[in-house]
Structure 1
Amino acid sequence: MSTKVLHVLYNDDDVLMDAVKTTRAAHHHIEEVYTPFPVHGLDKAMGLKPTRLAICAFIYGLCGLSFATYMMNYIMIQDWPQDIGGKPSFSYIQNMPSFVPIMFELTVFFAAHLMVITFFLRSRLWPFKKAENPDVRTTDDHFLMEVALHGSEEEALEFFRNTGAVEVKVIDKH
């Protein structure tokens, strides 16, 4: 079974935003939008859910803080206590003010590195992956909206031409 999609090209981001709103109001399903730069408000116009990556960043930061606390307690208090600058080495709580920079750095380290890995996995961007860009002009100065075609092809072509599209193509995906 083959499915058809429309590749609708625009050359202005404001026209694209209006077209996305008009397309959603007409109950067409937008598969994807390809842009050469981020278009602010496009995610809301497309009706995408807010990202939960910030929750992951918080959890990763807590993991880093926990690891830093465990590591410093084990290394500096239990395994090899040393008298550094006259600070007592028999209690983690008494030494905690001097450990704050290490706790901060490991919190940021864990959050940053694990967020990059999460983003790549979530976006399915792994090494040697082939690019999925349907039109090379979207890396320069055009915007492409990929819309699933349901119903009459002629009506859909006319609808998208009226939204300010520069070019409308019907693509057969199998």
Structure 2
Amino acid sequence: MAAKVIQAIYNDDDLVLQAVKQINGENYYVSEVFSPFPIHGLDKAMGLAPTRLAITSFLYGLTGLTVAILMMNFIMIQDWPQNIGGKPSFSFFDNMPTFIPIMFELTVFFAAHLMVITFYMRSKIWPFKKAENPDPRTTDDHFCVEVEVANHNEEALVKFIKDTGASEVKLID
């Protein structure tokens, strides 16, 4: 059974940030915030853990660099070495300056593409997935804050949320 939530609609992003801080300050739980654009500092105000996407991006870049080095070593040194412009290709390290652009490009390619895939998987954004925003106005110019009622007094919580500057407050079962 889903918990009861209160959905509060706000008109200003600064007001949302202050409201989330006030709601968390009173030991209520903000389960979700729907916003048409990112709000700086909202993750800290909600108490979310820092993201580890930068670590995965670094690992994906290392994977791309490794693939580039192994690919160029096999193709240009082992499989089909060529004497191009009087410069023989007998060693990978002798020819490394000519390989640097390819190593850079594959590092960026792997990091960028795998990060997009990781972001979509982590965010659970699948192709043809229906939108989960509770109010269509949250994709344009309004902000929605969902607060779990849990074991709190509903009337007192609704009054408190209205006092934070919400333009609309709805109780959802």
The alignment's TM-score, normalised by the length of structure 1, stands at 0.96
Q: CA deviation at 1:36?
A: 1.2
What is residue 154 of structure 2 aligned with on the other side? 153
Q: RMSD value over aligned CA atoms?
A: 0.8
Contact in 2 for aligned 1:88/1:94 (Cα 8 Å): no
> Residues of 2 paired with 1:84 and 1:25: CA distance?
69
Taking the TM superposition and a 5 Å limit, the aligned residue runs for 1:97-136 are 97-136=97-136
Matched, 1:60 2:60: yes
The alignment's TM-score, normalised by the length of structure 2, stands at 0.97
Taking the TM superposition and a 5 Å limit, the aligned residue runs for 1:1-150 are 1-150=1-150
Tell me which stretches of 4 or more aligned residues in structure 1 moved more than 4 Å.
Answer: none
Query: Percent of aligned positions with the same letter in both sequences?
Result: 65
Contact in 2 for aligned 1:17/1:42 (Cα 8 Å): yes
> Residues of 2 paired with 1:162 and 1:106: CA distance?
53
Q: Deviations over 1:96-143 (max 9, x none)?
A: 110000000000000000000000000001111111010011111111
Q: CA deviation at 1:2?
A: 4.4
What is residue 169 of structure 2 aligned with on the other side? 168
Q: CA deviation at 1:15?
A: 1.1
Q: CA deviation at 1:159?
A: 0.7
In structure 1, what residue type is equivalent to 2:82? Q
Change (3 A) 1:14 1:64: same
> Residues of 1 paired with 2:17 and 2:155: CA distance?
23
> Residues of 1 paired with 2:24 and 2:81: CA distance?
65
Contact in 2 for aligned 1:65/1:106 (Cα 8 Å): yes
SS in 1 for 2:95: helix
